[in-house]
Amino acid sequence: MVPPTLFDQIARLPCWSSGVEISPLPGGMTNRNFLVADRDGKRFVVRVGRDLPDHGVMRFNELAAARAAHAAGISPEVIHAGEGMLVSRYIDGRTFGPEDVRDPGNLERIVALVGRCHHDIPRYFRGPALIFWVFQVIRNYLSVLNEAGKNPLGLDLAELERRMQWLERRVGPVEIVFGHNDLLAANFIDDGARLWLIDWDYAGFNSPLFDLANLSSNNAFTLALDERLLAAYFANGIDSNCRRGFAAMKCASLLRELLWGATSLVSSTIEFNYAAYTRDYLQRFEAMWLATNEGD
């Protein structure tokens, strides 16, 4: 249920040149999102959200990343930020589903866009920037759940911490790039001519292996598609260290998602079935953990 006062707050934003029509957008597990149309026929997306320290989401960082991504030609223009709201131009296109991300015909476009995120955004990013090291994110989630004394799904937090430590050692040395770190299918939009990448809540410097593993784990890639993904990104070839690090990051990505869900279950006020989300990712993590440990 959206508070009526929120519609009034959006309508009063100083960026509108005329009266506006406001309608909620579906989805949004961290923010509330709205489509706004003005009398001139222009459309915008308003993201309403506050800092979420438990999740490592800081809005100053999201804004800087979104502006840098626009300057790099990756994401739509931000036209206003303030009052806990970020207003961007609306992209008229088709939002991807997991099947679109898995489509081999889209893979090269997706990899090229992610590569531009990794290497072009730092040229335009201004101000202090966060790092998104998934293992520190996981450590924080475990601490939040332990300190809050809330674990409604009965997760074995000590065992999950032990597995996290093993995965972190497994990754080994990494290259550092600028990561999106939340490569859900719905963050890709195809306008018919090009792909766009949106939503920079979790953006920050990271290993490229995490974005690749996150893309794979969020969209149910097969092993064969994983190989195509790595080959497309690493033009100079893939060695055993790269494959091992990728597999560990894929497992860590699933672990991070299930702990994100568990933490959101005890802290979020957004209407979303966090319990079902957590159970789904727990099942996927357990399967990936077994696969990652085969032969060890």
**Which helix (DSSP H) or strand (DSSP E) does residue 124 occupy?**
helix 104-124
Residues making up the chain, counted from first to last: 296
- The rounded distance, in Å, linking the Cα atoms of 140 and 91 is 34
Tell me the mean pLDDT in the region 163-177. Answer: 96
pLDDT at position 2 is: 66
Tell me the mean pLDDT in the region 91-98. Answer: 97
Dihedral of the alpha carbons of 203, 205, 208, 214, in degrees to the nearest 10: -30
Selection from 154, 134, 145 nearest residue 275 by Cα: 154
**Cβ neighbours of 129 (radius 10 Å):** 18
The pTM of this model reads 0.94
Q: What is the DSSP letter of 20?
A: E
CATH 3.90.1200.10 residue ranges of the chain are 94-293
- Token digits for 228? 């195509």
CATH 3.30.200.20 residue ranges of the chain are 4-89
Q: What is the CATH number of domain 4-89?
A: 3.30.200.20
Tens digits of residue pLDDT in 109-155: 999 999 999 999 999 999 999 999 999 999 999 999 998 788 889 99
- Token digits for 277? 């989300």
Burial environment of residue 289 by CB neighbours within 10 A (0 to 12, 13 to 18, 19 or more): middle
- Token digits for 47? 């993201």
**Which helix (DSSP H) or strand (DSSP E) does residue 89 occupy?**
strand 85-89
pLDDT at 1 over 60: no
> What is 94-293's CATH superfamily?
Aminoglycoside phosphotransferase (APH), C-terminal lobe (3.90.1200.10)
* pLDDT bucket at 24, cuts 50 / 70 / 90: very high
